[in-house]
């Protein structure tokens, strides 16, 4: 139903060096719905407040109208199918707009007002990320001598020693640290679950509101498990963009919109990570709400001072972050498809 294509990055360690999404987005809403079958199309139209009735949808079913054929219909076509003049005009205009309206890029979401709008959507009281309901991420215990952990610590130690300063480090520099953490976490999660878990750079994801490339997408058994956004600073905007990415990822996983996933007939959840390399925030978007860890500090000291303190301090902070990510990945990939089971997994982690 929606597009999921992977483009090779300019450099695996600098996902943000790809061109700006805002300059290149050409996908329209028509591009998204062209792969809808008849029922998916009807469900989409029903959410658009077009004042259509059951007998209108019955006509679409009788004519076996899919998303692709719907985009070619004119007012005359609708009338010939049995629509009255009023609905035919509305639908013809709607089709025209679908083919002309471009989706927004994830990177275009960058204002505090847009963040407040997202908060209102998820019934978050207040205007700060600390007002989002909190959850306790599952922590997976990692052995100090785990080979993936040891390699990660070695990579980060080497990079800290070679970088002049992290104070003004750009996003590409910070992403090198994020990648070391993600790769070690995936290696451990793959080993522990014996499941195929992969990471993709600059994966293109399209939903019914936004589209674009995400910095890192972690998937397992073809389902997206976690979307990671790297930011040099402004964590709030990182939250905003990551939430929009997660909403679109629901479309990828279930061939349905987030609104469809967020109802009594189904239940699902997905994890997001926003990180500066040093600071790590975890987000959980579920069918019945939005949750995060904004009130808990999860940090890795990436200053040269940590090298003077010995490797143990750095190892422990890295191990904590890896333990959380491994826990999240294992939790999501092992989740049963049964909605009530997924719901229980989510509610067990929500802080009261």
Q: Note the pLDDT tens digit of each residue in 331-351.
A: 998 876 677 878 888 888 888
Round to whole Å and give the CA distance between 165 and 79. Answer: 67
β-pairing, 210-220 with 104-105? parallel
pLDDT surpasses 60 at 103: yes
- What's residue 265's pLDDT? 53
Query: Are 34 and 177 part of one and the same domain?
Result: no
Please tell me whether residues 221 and 114 are part of one structural domain: yes
Residue 19, domain member (yes or no): no
In a domain, 235, yes or no: yes
Domain stops at, among 40, 70, 98: 98
Q: Final residue of a domain: which of 66, 82, 98?
A: 98
The domain boundary, picked from 98, 117, 138, lies at 98
Angle formed by the axes of helices 112-121 and 235-254, nearest 10°: 50
Claim to verify: residue 130 and residue 93 sit in the same structural domain: no
215 closest CA partner among 256, 182, 254, 250: 182
CA 111 to chain centroid: 19
* 20 assigned to some structural domain: no
In the chain, % of residues over pLDDT 70:
88
Q: What is the pLDDT of residue 344?
A: 84
Residue 340 falls within a domain, yes or no? yes
Q: What pLDDT shows up at residue 254? A: 58
Number of domains in the chain: 2
- pLDDT value at position 19? 38
Residues 77 and 114 in one domain: no
Residue 11 has pLDDT above 60, yes or no: no
Please tell me whether residues 48 and 162 are part of one structural domain: no
Asked if residue 13 belongs to a domain, the reply is: no
185 and 61 in one domain? no
Give the mean pLDDT of 158-179: 88
pLDDT band at 276 (very low <50, low <70, confident <90, very high): very high
Q: Are residues 55 and 178 in the same domain?
A: no
Average pLDDT over all residues of the chain: 86
pLDDT by residue (tens digit) across 301-313? 999 988 888 789 9
In the predicted model, what is the mean pLDDT of residues 70-85? 96
Provide the domain limits for residue 300.
105-347
Q: CA-CA distance, 194 to 192, in Å (whole number)?
A: 6
Does residue 178 share a domain with residue 140? yes
- Find the range with the poorest average confidence among 22-26, 33-37, 59-63, 205-209: 22-26
Task: Answer yes or no: do 75 and 140 share one domain.
Answer: no
CATH code at 60?
1.10.150.50
Q: How confident is the model at residue 10 (pLDDT cuts 50, 70, 90)?
A: very low
Query: What pLDDT sits at residue 216?
Result: 95
pLDDT exceeds cutoff 80 at 242: yes
Q: Based on the domain organization, do 128 and 75 belong to the same domain?
A: no
Q: How far apart are CA 225 and CA 344, in angstroms?
A: 18
**Would residue 15 count as lying in a domain?**
no
* pLDDT tens digit sequence for 118-137: 999 999 998 899 999 999 99
| Within a domain: 18 | no
Say whether both 166 and 193 belong to one domain: yes
Give the whole-angstrom CA distance, residue 247 versus residue 257. Answer: 8
Q: Does pLDDT of 97 surpass 80?
A: yes
> According to the model, what pLDDT value does residue 1 have?
41
Per-residue confidence (pLDDT) for residue 252, from 0 to 100: 67
Please check whether residues 43 and 179 belong to one and the same domain.
no
296, part of any domain: yes
Question: What does the pLDDT read at residue 108?
Answer: 92
Q: From residue 25, how far is each of 12, 13, 20, 22, 214 by CA, in Å?
A: 22, 23, 9, 6, 13
pLDDT at 160: 93
What pLDDT, in 10s, does the model give residues 133-143? 999 999 999 99
Q: Which of 104-108, 269-273, 342-346 has the lowest mean pLDDT?
A: 342-346
């Amino acid at each position: 139903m929606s597009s999921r294509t992977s483009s090779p990055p300019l450099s695996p360690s600098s996902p943000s060096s790809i061109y700006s999404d805002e300059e290149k987005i050409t996908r329209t809403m028509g591009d998204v719905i062209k792969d809808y079958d008849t029922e998916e199309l009807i469900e989409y139209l029903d959410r658009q407040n077009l004042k259509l009735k059951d007998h209108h949808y019955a006509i679409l079913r009788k004519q076996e109208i899919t998303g692709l054929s719907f985009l070619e219909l004119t007012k005359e076509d609708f009338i010939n199918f049995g629509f009255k003049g009023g609905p035919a005009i509305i639908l013809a205009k709607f089709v025209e707009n679908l083919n002309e309206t471009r989706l927004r890029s994830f990177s275009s979401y960058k204002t505090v007002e847009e963040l407040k709008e997202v908060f209102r959507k998820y019934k978050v009281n207040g205007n700060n990320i600390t007002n989002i309901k909190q959850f306790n991420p599952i922590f997976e215990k990692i052995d100090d001598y785990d080979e993936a952990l040891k390699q990660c610590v070695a990579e980060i130690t080497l990079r800290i020693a070679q970088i002049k300063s992290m104070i003004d480090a750009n996003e590409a520099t910070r992403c090198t640290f994020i990648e070391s953490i993600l790769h070690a976490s995936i290696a451990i999660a793959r080993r522990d679950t014996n499941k195929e878990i992969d990471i993709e750079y600059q994966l293109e994801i399209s939903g019914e509101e936004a589209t674009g490339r995400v910095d890192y997408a972690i998937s397992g058994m073809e389902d997206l498990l976690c979307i990671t956004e790297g930011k040099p600073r402004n964590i709030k905007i990182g939250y905003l963009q990551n939430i929009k990415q997660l909403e679109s990822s629901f479309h990828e996983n279930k061939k349905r919109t987030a609104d469809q996933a967020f109802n009594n007939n189904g239940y699902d959840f997905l994890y997001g990570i926003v990180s500066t390399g040093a600071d790590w925030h975890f987000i959980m978007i579920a069918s019945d709400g939005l949750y995060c860890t904004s009130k808990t500090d999860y940090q890795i000291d990436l200053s040269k001072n940590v090298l003077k303190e010995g490797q143990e301090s750095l190892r422990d902070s890295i191990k904590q972050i890896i333990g959380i990510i491994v826990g999240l990945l294992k939790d999501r990939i092992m989740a049963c498809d049964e909605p009530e089971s997924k719901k229980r997994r989510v509610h067990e982690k929500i802080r009261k």
